[in-house]
Amino acid sequence: MSSEQIDESYKRLLDKFYGDLPRVEGSGEWFSIPNPVLRYEGDKTTFINFKQVCELFRREPSHVMKFLVKHLATAGFVDPEGKLVLQGHFSEPQLRELLGRYVEFYVKCPTCGRPDTRLVKKLRIVYMVCEACGAEAPIKVKS
């Protein structure tokens, strides 16, 4: 068999292979940050859908809470129903912006940008592991 015949045979196989692949419809972007649902009681802000937001991010509520409390310079706790109670009055745009920063730092893969990640602790270092592309990167402390 000559090299031209091998090249042509290889091209036919590639065309058949690519023809059999499923077509991707849409952008594949299923992830969007939900708007925080807030309730105000005196000098406290209750983040009603906090548990659902954490489930969407696939992160522990305590991790998300620590980020928010630190950046809002306030105190807070997660009640038994999964709502975040913050000391002080905070607006929906303010919390939405912080959730966006959290997603950029701790949810989206730094390699492919997909939100399909999980945090894994190895020894004393926390890594972000992407289930979409397989990348693994240590988490840097952000402020």
| Tens of pLDDT, residue by residue, the chain (143 residues) | 667 777 788 788 778 877 776 554 444 456 788 999 999 999 999 999 999 999 999 999 999 999 999 999 999 999 999 999 999 999 999 999 999 999 999 999 988 888 989 999 888 888 999 988 888 989 875 54
Number of domains in the chain: 2
- The boundaries of the domain holding residue 137 are 110-143
Residue 137 and residue 103 share a domain: no
Residue reference for tokens 């990348």: 135
DSSP state of 22: P
Q: How far apart are CA 54 and CA 30, in angstroms?
A: 16
Whether the CB-CB separation of 84 and 75 falls below 8 Å is answered with no
The answer to whether position 95 is within a domain reads yes
pTM of the model: 0.74
Residue 96 and residue 39 share a domain: yes
